Structure 1
Amino acid sequence: MTNNPDSTSAVWVRGLRRTYGQGASAYEAVRGVDLDVPVGSITALLGTNGAGKTSTLEVIEGLAPATAGEIRVLGLDPVADRAALRRRTGVLLQRSGFSGDLTVRETLRMWSATVTSPRSVDEMLALLSLEQRADVRMLALSGGETRRVDLACTLMGSPELVILDEPTTGLDPESRREVWRLVSGLRDGGATVLITTHYLEEAETLSDRLEIMHAGQIVRSGTPTAIAAGHPSKISFVSAAGVPEDLAGVRRVVHERDRTTLETDALQTSLSDLLAWAAHNRVELDGLDARSPSLETVFLSIADGRDPAVSAPQDIETPKEGALR
């Protein structure tokens, strides 16, 4: 058995390919993915529709073999060494299969019997704020409460590596932020977290590193701030007076119904020029909104095919300490 060539990575993937079917009908869902999940970090794996994210996760979790490539999870082969890895990992799937007739407490007790050195049921009930629902049957829980039971089972064995597939689906905003605090606490306690989510705010808030997939490949890698760098800031407003054509830094003007959006490489300069123009011409800029580039900006540009990374995958180096603003 080959050990993980990079001991700083809890998940190490090189050249991963996964193909469904054979011959002319074969479909390659994952096309040469390289992935590193640093030990003690939170890494978010994002993907546009049909990107191959689920196919990649299934290989990492040991649920399916790769068509080609090398994969090491905590230094082990996720398929050949699945039994050994199971004791060291916690996996939260998008849907659980727990019996609806069992109570929450009974469900956790049942799960604890499958875990090496489990934490107590009472501890997990408290950790996920489920004490008041402990004797309620699973079928009577809300979607958010069911998700918290799933999380309690995932974390019961104090895993070194936690894989969370859409962990806050069905949760209200308050519960979602409670899960965020819990996930951050896992990292602070030394665990490694690989998370998938459709909530871009969640990925941007939680993650030390992002991996964005599109069409079976990783097209963007880096910190949230580094990934957003190079994408335009946006200034939007409603005005009946048109838009001045000589604003510094503006690369694109978009008109949608009665709203105008300026995409600019120099937010402060463009905004200052716009406000000076409006004041000089006594123009009212209703609903004025100015914002720096965000993960949403990057993600949508990839989904729309406007990001150059779609045709030329690249890695973005993490900025040196002090470079983030």
Structure 2
Amino acid sequence: MTSTLVSDANRTPGTNAGGPVPMRLLNHPWTAFVLRRAGGLLLSFLVLTIVTFVIVPLIPGDPAVIAAGEGASADKIQSVRSELGLDQPLLVQFLNYFTGILRLDIGTSFISGDNVSTMIANRFPYTAEIALLAIGMVLLIAVPVGMSVAVLTNGGRRPWLDSMFNVLTSLFYSVPQYVMATLLVTVFAVSLRLLPAAGAAGPTSLILPTAALMIGPSCVIARVVRRETAVVLDKDYIRTARGWRLSAFRTHIRYVLPNLITTTLTLSGLILAAQLGGAVVIETVFAWPGLGQGIVNAILQRDYPVIRGIIMVLGLLATLIIVIVDVVLAVIDPRNLGGGTHE
């Protein structure tokens, strides 16, 4: 009895049988996971900052000449170069650029004089609209198609369907996005006159750019889902479910689909990140007023702040999307934390 009282008296406040609370939090798998992802985001930010600053001046042409206007004198060009800060040493320019980003001030356009952050904010919804719509359509189409083909061809049945699926997905995936976009415009806008060829005039204007973005990724995810489904269908627990005489629909939804979530979400996150870059080409073809069209115009005008700002935003968004997918996967399956499950 006495030893128990002494033990209780000597127990440090804020501790329990599992050890001090701060130590338990530090040793928690989620803590290590969050620190790794935060470190990855910070490293991506630093790399993007350096890369965007270094590569933009490599674009041929002098932005001061363009900003000064056609036929400007040498004195005028030099004056504009000084106003834009292009006559300063590169180290000074980089420090100004870096500190501006930390203040959430990307700069002002060399050509229009508008705030770059405002320009990006105005264009970003258009890019996000077609990118999110495309990935949503990819999942709605690719997952059911891939699962259906795997079920219908399971056990070597319908080899013609398997061959046709492989040929068609390989064919459509091999077509570059800009070629696919041009074909869609030629068929549905020029020949059939069913849809607008360019611009963002209304809901129908979304159809062709979204289709051009989603066709290739749909083929990739459908092939992956078909392969993963075929593997799952050969598992013992699927045979057991069939032995219980569960309906095919219930078996596939309850036991097959959950085993595809990890692979599908991982691939979808990578594709969505890539869609942001693919939107540059698609927006140019369809004259879509998003970030892609904005960066093309900025490159033609040698507008350094706009180019840097858009590349920075697209790069950080792509990294953030991948981190969000990692978090979702870790919530679904704690084994994805990398540190094991927490008891």
Task: Give the TM-score normalised by structure 1.
Answer: 0.21
Larger Rg: 2
Q: Where is the strand percentage greater, Structure 1 or Structure 2?
A: 1
Q: Where is the helix percentage greater, Structure 1 or Structure 2?
A: 2
Task: Give the TM-score normalised by structure 2.
Answer: 0.20
Q: Which has the higher contact order (CA 8 A, sep 6+)?
A: 2
